[in-house]
């Protein structure tokens, strides 16, 4: 994968492993949620836990919480959190996604990651 931080396709992001600064695997980007009225990505959906896709929990994370590390040969997405931080993060299971019209959920996501809510 070749990550260019200013312009990314959703297919280049989906399936990408996310690590913390210590190199621990935090999860994998599953999807991007786009606010159709503004055209902005509201948040990325990160899958964490489980085995072979079973029991994974999904987390909504603002793009601004990620860093794109292109310093070495292996481009990667970095999320500066400890795995335990996700225990209290706004999440959902794959069969029960949040109501996309519920801006309160998105506000809580941005607040949890200390990112300014922009919608």
How do residues 44-88 score in pLDDT, each as one tens digit? Answer: 999 987 555 555 789 999 999 998 876 665 667 899 988 788 878
Q: Are 118 and 70 in contact (CB under 8 A)?
A: no
Assess if residue 64 is contained within a domain: yes
CATH number for the domain harbouring residue 85: 2.30.30.240
Domain with 54, as residue range(s), is: 10-112
- Per the structure, how many domains does the chain have? 1
Assess if residue 39 is contained within a domain: yes
Stretch (H or E) spanning 8: none
Assess if residue 5 is contained within a domain: no
Assess if residue 33 is contained within a domain: yes
pLDDT at 4: 52
pLDDT at 32: 93
Q: Which pair of structure tokens corresponds to residue 38?
A: 């503004």
Residue located via tokens 């029991």: 55
The answer to pTM > 0.75 is yes
Tens-place pLDDT, residues 89-111? 888 888 888 876 778 889 999 99
Assess if residue 4 is contained within a domain: no
pLDDT at 12: 81
Assess if residue 27 is contained within a domain: yes
CB atoms closer than 10 angstroms to residue 80: 13
Assess if residue 23 is contained within a domain: yes
Bridge partner list, 77: 18, 68
Assess if residue 118 is contained within a domain: no
> DSSP secondary structure string, 56-88?
-EEEEE-GGGEEEE-SSSS-EEEE---GGGGGG
Spatial distance between the Cα atoms of 63 and 35, rounded to a whole number of angstroms? 13
């Amino acid at each position: 994968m070749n990550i260019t931080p200013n312009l990314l396709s959703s297919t280049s992001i989906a399936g990408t492993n996310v690590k913390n600064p210590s190199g621990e695997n935090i999860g994998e980007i599953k999807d991007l949620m786009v606010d159709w009225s503004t055209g902005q990505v509201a948040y990325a959906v990160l899958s964490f836990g489980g085995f072979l896709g079973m029991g994974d929990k999904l987390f909504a994370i603002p793009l601004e919480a990620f860093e794109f590390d292109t310093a070495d040969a292996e481009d990667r997405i970095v999320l500066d959190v400890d795995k335990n931080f996700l225990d209290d993060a706004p999440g959902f299971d794959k069969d029960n996604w949040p109501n996309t019209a519920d801006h309160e959920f998105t506000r809580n996501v941005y607040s949890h990651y200390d990112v300014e809510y922009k919608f």
